[in-house]
């Protein structure tokens, strides 16, 4: 019983020491803050973010979707989004990685299946969509639109694509090129 009291007293003492140090650091070092925490809210999303205090550039943000229970974590480097994880209770996580090129173009690599990167989207130097490709049959296939529907050309035939909720692409029946 005596040992339990000593342990409890030690834990309470460490807690009070931690609180005291936090108050002291917050009071005397306020002008030297490196990071700041902000609570964020839009029409459908709410979240929390860590930002550089001086530049206000984001470091990490976690968004929670108001409807549907999903969330997204976004990781930043020098204020630019570099990695995202989208979570939902009814599907595998979706991972997105952003590759920024010296000419300011960006490529998103997306793992919709939750295991392998199977989708990539290219944006030009102005941030405009350039092209989209999916990993199919061991190579990157460029998606071509016909009548408002995306598809890929396999063996000279255009085949429509469909994305299922589990993140997997399926190929429809072939049509003429």
Secondary structure of 95-115 as H, E, C letters: EEEEEECCCCCEEEEEECCCC
Query: pLDDT digits over 99-143, tens only?
Result: 888 877 888 888 877 678 888 989 988 888 999 999 888 889 999
This prediction has a pTM of: 0.63
State how far the Cα of 31 lies from the Cα of 76, in Å rounded to an integer: 24
Query: pLDDT digits over 131-166, tens only?
Result: 999 988 888 999 998 888 888 988 888 888 876 655
State how far the Cα of 135 lies from the Cα of 125, in Å rounded to an integer: 24
Mean pLDDT calculated for residue range 55-64: 92
161-172 in b/e form (b: 16+ CB < 10 A) is beeeeebebebe
Per-residue pLDDT at 64 exceeds 80:
yes
Residue 158 or residue 20, greater confidence: 158
pLDDT class of 33 with cuts at 50, 70, 90 = confident
């Amino acid at each position: 019983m005596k040992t339990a009291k000593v342990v409890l007293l030690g834990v309470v003492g460490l807690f009070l020491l931690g609180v005291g140090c936090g108050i002291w650091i917050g009071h005397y070092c306020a002008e030297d803050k490196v990071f700041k925490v902000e609570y964020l809210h839009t029409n459908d999303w709410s979240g929390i973010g860590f930002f550089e205090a001086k530049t206000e550039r984001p470091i990490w943000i976690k968004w929670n979707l108001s409807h549907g229970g999903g969330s997204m974590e976004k990781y930043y480097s020098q204020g630019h989004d570099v990695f995202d994880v989208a979570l939902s209770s009814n599907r595998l996580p979706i991972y997105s990685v952003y590759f920024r090129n010296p000419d300011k173009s960006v490529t998103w690599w997306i793992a919709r299946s939750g295991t392998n990167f199977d989708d990539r989207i290219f944006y030009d130097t102005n941030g405009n969509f350039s092209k989209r490709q999916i990993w199919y049959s061991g190579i990157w296939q460029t998606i071509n639109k016909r009548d408002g529907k995306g598809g890929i050309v396999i063996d000279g035939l255009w085949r429509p694509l469909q994305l299922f909720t589990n993140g997997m692409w399926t190929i429809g029946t072939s049509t003429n090129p």
